[in-house]
Structures are given as structure tokens and as C-alpha cells.
Structure 1
Amino acid sequence: MAHEKAGSAVTEKGAGRWRTFHEKFVVDERYVDPADRRGLYRASVILAVVGLALFIATLVSVVQADGLSAADHPVHDWLLTTRSAAVTAIMIFLAVFFGPIALPIIVLVVILVWGIAAKHAWRPILLASAMLTGVIVSQIILHIVQRSRPPVDQMLFGADQTFSFPSGHVLGACDFLLVGAYLIFSRRRNPRAAVFGFIGAGIGIILAIASRLYLGYHWPTDTLASFSLSLLILGGVIALDTWRTARIPGEPVTGELSKEESARE
């Protein structure tokens, strides 16, 4: 009898663990107003179109060496005149923070902690997918365009002779900050919090761009291309997240949060 109870307890424990694991990968749908859902789709399209158009314009100017890229050398030369020991130290810190070692570790920790702490892992998985998409896209474009960086002797944090267009540092920072801000604040009902969240993301992006330009590793159009690609990725994330999770009253739902809200209405 005791063995039967022990076996039953083990079975129930195993079933409970499997249920918890299964629920991690169940997308929790949510009720939104019809106007809000239309607004999300509209925002996703606008971001994608603006991002794509800006990237194409930047790419064409770089390939043809005119248009937007005409400002690359003047801006680069001006930044050389603004350098100082104190500012350089700050910019090196930012370069390390948004660099290929620190930022991936930060992103990995955020995704793992968020995925473990959250009941559903949809948003951490979406963030990871956006980051991975940015890496793949940037590597493909880098090797297609094969643009040279500014002179090596003007770089302040070691030589880098890899291709320059687009900036992987800036694209990674933009994806992490913009997509992360959307995934966090899209579930909150306070618009002011979302505004401050995206303002914070914008400040972080400006700092990441400034460090790459100041330290002499990129031309301005490299960073502009990265920002435009990130807008395109953000638009895709918003569209996918809205399509998969946003439900309006009258539509069937499976998420626990949506069921609770439905019961209260």
C-alpha cells in the first residue's frame, strides 16, 4: 500500500512538472480593445515601411557614395576634434557594455531569468528570436556590401578590420532596447510608462551610436542602417505578437489572463 502511494506521488509529481513545462510554451492570449489592436497593426506596418525605406535609402547612398553618405567623412573628421581623455573613457565603457561579449551575456541572462520567472515564455522567446534575426541579417549584409571601416590608426580601442556596414553593435543595442521596451510595456495599461520606456530605449541607442562613431569604428550611415533594420525587426515583432496574442471581445481565447478578464466582464 505504501509503495502504491509512493508511486502515485511520484507520478503526480512528474505530471505536475510536465504540466508546468508545457504551460511555459503556451502563448497567453490577452483581450484588447479593437481600436488598440488596429493601432498595433498600424504601428507595425509604419515601423516596417519606414525602416525598410530608410535602410534602402542608406544602402543606395553608400553603394553610390553620395546622398546620405556624403556626410560620413565630415562628421567623422569633426568627431576627431572633440576627443578628450575623459570622454574617451566613457565611450570605451559604452563600447564594452554594448560590445560582442558583454551585451550577449546581458541578453542571455535577461532572457533566461525572464523565461524562468514568467509563467509563459512567449515574450522572452520573441526577444531571443528578434536578437538572433538581427545577428543573421547583419552578417549577411556585411558580407554582401563589404564596406571598409574608417582608418585603423584613428580607432581608439584596438584595431578592427572587419566590414563596417551595418554596425552590429548598434543593431544589437537597438533590437534589445526597442523590442525589449515593446514586450515589457505593451502589457501595461499605463501609456506614460510606455513613453518613458521608449525614451529610455532611445537614450541607450544614442549612447551606443555615439560610442561607435566617437571611437572611430563606423561611419554615421553604418549606424543609421542598423537603426533602420531594427525598426523593421520591431515592426515584425509587433505584428507577430499582436497576431498571436491580442484578442478582441467575442473571439475565443486560451490564455489564463484572458479568461480571468473575460470572467470579470
Structure 2
Amino acid sequence: MTETTERPGRLRRFHEKFLVEERVVPASAKRNLYLISIALVVGGLTAFLFIFDSVLEADDISAVDAPVERWLETGQTDWLTTVMTVIAFVFGPIVMPIIILVTTVTWGIVAKHAWRPLLLAGGMLLGVIIVQVLAPVIARERPPIGDMMLEIDHTSSFPSGHVMGVADFLFITTYLVFSRHRRPVITVLAFVVASGIVLLTAACRIYLGYHWATDALASIALSLVVLGIVIAVDTWRTVRVGTPSEVDASESTREEDGSVG
């Protein structure tokens, strides 16, 4: 009986020390987090379906694909091609998984807490599954092989796994780090920087001749869906409504132990 009692006790202590990351917020803040998550899921899914329908019907927003590709081709230079090649390598299927692995493991070790690294890994895995399921089913052809500036790629084009991988990583990481920050302007600026890098990655894939503009846009829309799910799960799992004094005490504690960032 004693061993049975001690085992749940040890599991509970482990759970509270490494997996629970409670944060106390006003009721309005918790409600806003859920509203944001719903808006991201609904907005992202609506945008994706609109783009998908445009691609199928070859109308509406898909009309930008050829002009965008031609515009980027006219701006091709040796130095820009080198920059885009480096970006493609850093955010490609070889280096990007290493970055994700190092980030999650290092984060868990330094923070001595597993919740946010696990949530990041889970969000990334969800994004991979979505792309792996949708791309073969939709089976959209990539731009002509002659436009591809690196190796030839015969896989499906829609949505872009590269763009979605980068968007998932940057958006989820930005949320998990800066959503704990007391100054909303810092969070907004962080998302602006993350969005800029995502758009640069999208431009890179189009510039190098591997994707259409709508491939990238659809991937970003799906990433917003994934981000919305992550926010909802994080809010459900970690957020507790408290009194103003409890909120202040929780924020002070997180600042002291360095968990705000």
C-alpha cells in the first residue's frame, strides 16, 4: 500500500516540476487567448480553402502565380541567387530538423521544463503530417523544371513543406516565448520579425523556381491554423484565472525564475 501511494506521489511531483507550467491571468486575458486561437483557426482554414479553390479553378488569387514568378525572375542576380540558395539550405530538409531538435532539447535543458519544448515539437509534427497528407492528394505540379535553379524536384507543389515548416517553427516559437511577456508591444514586434522571415522564405522558394506564390500563401494559412491549435492547447493546459493579486504574484515569480522569455 505504501509503495502504491509513493508511486503516484513521485509521478505527481515529476509532473508538477517538469510538465506543469501554470500561469495566472485575468479572466479577460484567458478569453482573449481563446478568441485569438479561434480566429486563427477559422481565418487560416478559410484562407486555405479559398486559395485551394482558386488553384483548382485557375481563377481568383491563382492569377498572381505567373506574374509573381516572372517578376522575381527579372530580378535575378548572382548575389541574390547566392543569398536565396543559403536561405534554402538553412531552412531546408537537412538543416531545419537539426535546428528544431537543438532548439527543443536546449530549451528543455536550460528552462528545466518540458511543456513549451514539447508543444513546439508537437506543433511541428502536426504541420509535417498536414503537408504529407495534403500534397500527394492535391498533386499540383511545380513550376517547369527549367526554372528550378538547384536540384530537380518532382514532388507535389501544394502546399509548400519548406514554407510551412519555417512558418510553424517561427510562429509557434514566437508565441511560446513572447506570450509570457508583460509588454504586448514586444510580442507584436516579435511576430512582425517572424512574419518577415517567413515571407522571405516564401520568396526564396518562388525565386528558385520550386513553388508558385499560391503554394506559399496556402502554407502560411495552414500555419495559422496550427498556431491557433497550439494557442488553444497551451491556454487550456497552462492558464488559470486569478485575482489581480494572484496575477501580479504569478508574473513576479516567472520574472524571477526567468520563465517569461
Task: Classify the TM-score, shorter chain.
Answer: 0.7 to 0.9
Q: What's the counterpart of residue 60 of structure 1?
A: 53
Deviation string 1:192-239 (CA, Å, 9 cap, x unpaired) is: 221221111011111111110111100000000100000000011111
1:30 shift after superposition = 1.0
Q: CA deviation at 1:78?
A: 2.0
Does structure 1 residue 185 correspond to structure 2 residue 178?
A: yes
1:40 counterpart letter in structure 2: L
Kindly indicate whether residue 13 of structure 2 is the aligned counterpart of residue 31 of structure 1.
no
Q: Which residue of 2 aligns with 1:213?
A: 206
TM score, norm. by length of structure 2: 0.87
**How does the TM-score come out when normalised to structure 1?**
0.86
| Matching residue of 2:188 | 195
Alignment correspondent of 1:7: none
Task: Measure, in 2, the Cα distance between the counterparts of 1:60 and 1:18.
Answer: 49
Contact 1:170 1:227 in 2 (8 A): yes
Shift of 1:97: 1.0
Q: Which amino acid aligns with 2:21?
A: D
Q: Deviations over 1:39-98 (max 9, x none)?
A: 111111111111000000011111111111121112112221111101100000111111
Counterpart mapping for 1:23-172 below 5 A: 23=16, 25-172=18-165
Cα contact 1:61–1:69 (8 A) shared by 2: yes
User: 2: CA distance between counterparts of 1:166 and 1:26?
Assistant: 33
| Number of equivalenced pairs | 241
Higher Cα radius of gyration: 1
Tell me the percent identity.
49
Distance 2:221 2:11 in 1: 42
- Aligned equivalents of 2:17, 2:133: Cα separation in 1: 32
Amino acid at match of 2:60: G
CA distance in 2, matches of 1:21, 1:35: 31
Q: Identify if the C-alpha distance between structure 1 residues 157 and 243 changes in structure 2 by more than 3 Å, giving closer, same or farther.
A: same
Distance in 1 between residues matched to 2:207 and 2:19, nearest whole Å:
45
- Listed one character per residue, the Cα deviations across residues 139-179 of structure 1 (whole Å, up to 9, x for unaligned) are 10001100000011111112111110000000000000001
How large is the Cα RMSD of the aligned pairs?
Answer: 2.2
Aligned-residue offset at 1:22: 4.6
Q: What per-residue deviation string (whole Å, max 9, x for no partner) do you get for residues 4-23 of structure 1?
A: xxxxxxxxxxxxx9888555
Q: CA, structure 1 residues 224+31, in 2 after alignment: closer, same or farther (shift >3 Å)?
A: same
Q: Aligned partners of 2:155 and 2:42: how far apart in 1?
A: 29
